[in-house]
Amino acid sequence: MSGLGKLLPSLRPESPDLLHLDFLRLLASYGIVLVHFRTNLLSPFAGREAIARNLDSFALCVDLFFVISGFVISWVYRDRIDGLGSYGRFLRKRVARLVPLHWATLLFFVLAWAAGTAVGASFDRAEKYDFDCLVPNLLMIHAWGVCGGPSFNSVSWSISAEMAMYAAFPLLFWAATRSVTGFALFFAALVAALYLFSGDQFWAERTYNLGVLRAFPGFCFGILLYRHRDRLARIAGARWWLAAAMVLFGAAAIAGTGKPWLLPLAYLIPLLGVAADMQGRVGPLVRSLAPGGRLTYSIYMLHPVVQSVFIVLIGRKLLALDGMGLTVWTLLAFPLVAVVGYLSLFLFEEPARRLMSGTSRRPSVDARGERISI
């Protein structure tokens, strides 16, 4: 058992200082899982189409991730990038964190297409197997407006957008340091312009079609939260306000509140999470669930694989489940996603990350350790 314990260690928080943000990351990742599992989950219920439309608002959890990412990267790298050499090392570590699982899930969907085509199987979403977008996926630029639709592991658009934010981080952080007021005014003007000139599609609904534009305001807001973290620490009862904001967001989303109205609340939640973390008061629920924040990226990237294999292939096609049977089967997929994510983290992602980043041992649990918000 000791050997297995070393291979599959217990989950521990990556930092003792940001437990509320880790807690938010875990909950937000399951918000995205809910969005993608909802059709099968709601199979036997009357009015399921209307309920499914409302639950789509939980897709704004991705925007919460972008805010947390801006804060966390600022927290970790605030004084670590001082030239081209350190910038290159920073990007190498970011690539090492994102690329292995991204490429692995991309390979899964390529092989799934090949196997399905060989046996003449039908695909629920055949349009996502767009091989014109294979190279952009490999290069992680498929959220930059170069693809004609969602492709392969379609949730990975946000990873493409994240990489663009990482590339721009030193410049953005420098600008926020040079004039935090000017940076705040820039952010406010940007969001106002996006609201006014979204066109036919609200800007926080973009994914493959310039999803990088969607990520930019959230990432900038995260940097602003870092710059104002001491002021945020003065918000009395921040962790209780955070709980209230989360309940309000969930209730408003279920009630069908439009995304333009919900997005400010999605930005407010990480603000209150930062405030709660800066105060250092942590309740038992947050403390117990915060270690699960380490699984966020794994859950996010692997839940489409679980959906394809466990829900669609096994549940719907092999077992011919429908109605309440399909609902129960889909409910089982929620904890399964965490199990698969845990195994992926320790057996694949961390070893691959150490190999690609040039480190030979597991990173220590440290407030300044390597972190990722998604």
Tens digit of each residue's pLDDT (9 = 90 or more) over 241-268: 999 999 999 999 999 899 999 999 999 9
Please return the burial class of 311, using the count of CB atoms within 10 Å of its CB with bins 0-12, 13-18 and 19+.
buried
pLDDT over 70 (residue 6): no
Whole-number mean pLDDT of the chain?
90
How far apart (Å, rounded) are the C-alpha atoms in residues 346 and 351? Answer: 7
pLDDT at residue 195, as a whole number: 93
Among residues of the chain, what percentage have pLDDT more than 90? 75
pLDDT at residue 365, as a whole number: 45
Read off the pLDDT band of 40 (50, 70, 90): very high
Among 3, 4, 21, smallest CA distance to 292 is for: 21
Read off the pLDDT band of 21 (50, 70, 90): very high
Structural domain includes residue 370: no
Structural domain includes residue 374: no
Read off the pLDDT band of 368 (50, 70, 90): very low
Structural domain includes residue 305: yes
Structural domain includes residue 102: yes
**Mind listing the pLDDT tens digit for each residue in 197-208?**
878 889 999 999
Q: What is the pTM of this model?
A: 0.91
Structural domain includes residue 301: yes
Domain coverage including residue 211:
2-357
How far apart (Å, rounded) are the C-alpha atoms in residues 58 and 314? Answer: 26
Structural domain includes residue 373: no
How far apart (Å, rounded) are the C-alpha atoms in residues 138 and 208? Answer: 14
3-state secondary structure of 370: coil
Structural domain includes residue 363: no
Read off the pLDDT band of 292 (50, 70, 90): very high
**Mind listing the pLDDT tens digit for each residue in 108-122?**
999 999 998 888 777
The number of distinct structural domains making up the chain is 1
User: Which residues contact residue 164 at a Cβ distance below 8 angstroms, ignoring those fewer than 6 apart?
Assistant: 143, 144, 212, 215
Structural domain includes residue 204: yes
